[in-house]
Structure 1
């Protein structure tokens, strides 16, 4: 019993030390490069710089902190470049035959989901082993612009900017379902983000002059408008990111070159960053209190942990911050056995699963290994 309490104290001290560190926003500004700031926009740190041109225009950034990598999508150059998190050691991962639009990382299965004009496909993290999921003919009413992964429920969401639709697929590209239609051509969707734990999708849509930020549930119903703004030459939101734990959403405006932060209910707008290059394209929020991944589970067991482990009846997660976290339990063959939401001190029953090794996987792809005995 004394050893158990000692472990609990150790976990608490380590988690508190982690949480005292600074969370980061990774920014892509095509007029400057990739840099980080704190979540309030302070302490800017330039990582990689370049000059935008007809053959070089960064459009997206994604973070794999557990492998110390960031991925930058060059839309004009039709390349995906991998860097170390400090901006060093750039490596060409993939060259596209036509313009790429978006990427998402599946760090559970070691995959990159790519969206380019005409196709959504996966590769391994090193760009090899391409697997085509969805093909289409780009035209005035069919143009996929953004994708998001729901790894808990095994779904892929694709935003059709020209057709004004948000469509949900299985992760293998099967079983398409239209989740939301953006008023049949009078509105143009810009971006969306999924909050699995609270069963919400956050949407950005606009017409030629007016725009709104709103939520629906994961099936596209129960619309709630959070805030409206006048879209124009000085303000046009193209990217949305969520920090649910701190009750914030971040909205990136390519027109005007700024990053605004709101509360999740649409109140308390604050501009936290202006971009000297005036070509901001994307941000990615990295939370230091949730850096676990299946690729680095062992080295992180002392940061945030499953307890007791091994266990026969139930597990708890030590070191969860904020509100509810969506999770799923997978076996070593990749089959999902159960899912739900938890928060600090909640117990997950594992009495109904067989003895063996399992992975507790969270909505952002982070994971913890545990043993059922």
Structure 2
């Protein structure tokens, strides 16, 4: 695969130890890149298939459904509400569609790029990595006619990006390394975080651990970004051109570009604290529009609610017969974690 055909990953949120066994979720794809999750469905770009597709992962034998066809090498994708943004490398542009529309029509967001690959949204700022121009650009998605602003240049095939505090981490495919820049600085200088990788294309951040997809190395590795000189540690090996990744519940989904598959491996979720093992925890009502309640808690416990990208949206303490107000949440899938242990999936409607 040429270095221009690169993809990315997502931020996730569950402590894990991977089992070595993987299973096929779907096959027969043509150059799968990034994966997104929305209401039981995986959305993914098919770079060589020239389309954006989806599957329902609750089905035992998911069927590939075309979301949008007739594209020219679609690359990075991201969701902002129900707006799906995607990079089309051949037309050198970024577009968006409304995924709740059965026949979505692409709307041009910005053009004039070289070969756009990675997309990252921070509030209203859309960051775009360009492997031909070797630049990270930024636009304001609220502008009717957004202009490209150069954030960092002189990179070597920049791919996926992830943001932690004020630092933007960037995978440099041709340099075989991860660098970071401080986006609050007017002219940020890239700082090497870790080198000696093999074709880093994608990654996700969990707490302080940055999990990295190494395309040419055929593996997933990770580093601790708080360390002064982090060393990459292997997490999963013997993969066939890994690109996009996402964790949903206790499963890690991986896009393999070369095999034309999406595979998954089951994760070893953190154990439940002893004081929560008295009885099973039950979340109800599920789905819900106003509040949720947990049956099986007999003393005060800390909780966090996270969205599918690992962002904490609500946190606090809960005890027996107490309710959690979720009216402020947008409709979608969320995860409730009790005392950094038991994790329960629920839906806000």
TM-score over 0.5 for the alignment? yes
Contact conserved, 1:361 with 1:368, CA < 8 A, in 2?
no
Deviation (angstroms), 1:360: 4.9
SS at match of 2:133: coil
Residue 331 (structure 2) pairs with residue 359 (structure 1): no
Change in CA separation of 1:218 and 1:326 when aligned onto 2, cut-off 3 Å? farther
Task: Provide the rounded CA distance (Å) in 2 between the counterparts of 1:44 and 1:250.
Answer: 18
Match of 1:147 among 102, 107, 119: 119
Deviation (angstroms), 1:255: 0.6
1:96 aligns with 70
* Alignment coverage as a number of residue pairs: 266
Backbone CA RMSD of aligned residues? 4.0
* Contiguous gaps of at least 5 residues in structure 2: 1-6, 8-13, 251-268, 270-285, 295-301, 318-325, 336-345
Task: Provide the rounded CA distance (Å) in 2 between the counterparts of 1:41 and 1:300.
Answer: 35
TM norm structure 1: 0.59
Task: Provide the rounded CA distance (Å) in 2 between the counterparts of 1:69 and 1:193.
Answer: 23
Residue 225 (structure 2) pairs with residue 264 (structure 1): yes
Deviation (angstroms), 1:202: 1.3
1:11 aligns with none
1:217 aligns with 183
* Contiguous gaps of at least 5 residues in structure 1: 1-29, 31-36, 290-295, 305-317, 328-341, 346-356
Task: Provide the rounded CA distance (Å) in 2 between the counterparts of 1:84 and 1:281.
Answer: 20
Contact conserved, 1:146 with 1:191, CA < 8 A, in 2?
yes
Contact conserved, 1:182 with 1:188, CA < 8 A, in 2?
no
Deviation (angstroms), 1:265: 2.7
1:202 aligns with 169
Deviations 1:86-109 (A, max 9, x none): 452332111033111111122x3x
Task: Provide the rounded CA distance (Å) in 2 between the counterparts of 1:132 and 1:222.
Answer: 32
Task: Provide the rounded CA distance (Å) in 2 between the counterparts of 1:160 and 1:268.
Answer: 27
Task: Provide the rounded CA distance (Å) in 1 between the counterparts of 2:48 and 2:183.
Answer: 35
Higher relative contact order structure (alpha carbons within 8 Å, sequence separation ≥ 6): 2
Comparing both structures, which one devotes a greater share of its residues to helix?
A: 1
Deviations 1:182-233 (A, max 9, x none): 32xx6331221123xx233111226x556343242356765573533236xx
Match of 1:69 among 19, 41, 44: 41
SS at match of 1:176: coil
Match of 1:120 among 60, 72, 94: 94
Match of 1:160 among 130, 134, 137: 130
2:292 aligns with 302
Change in CA separation of 1:163 and 1:224 when aligned onto 2, cut-off 3 Å? closer
Match of 1:136 among 98, 111, 116: 111
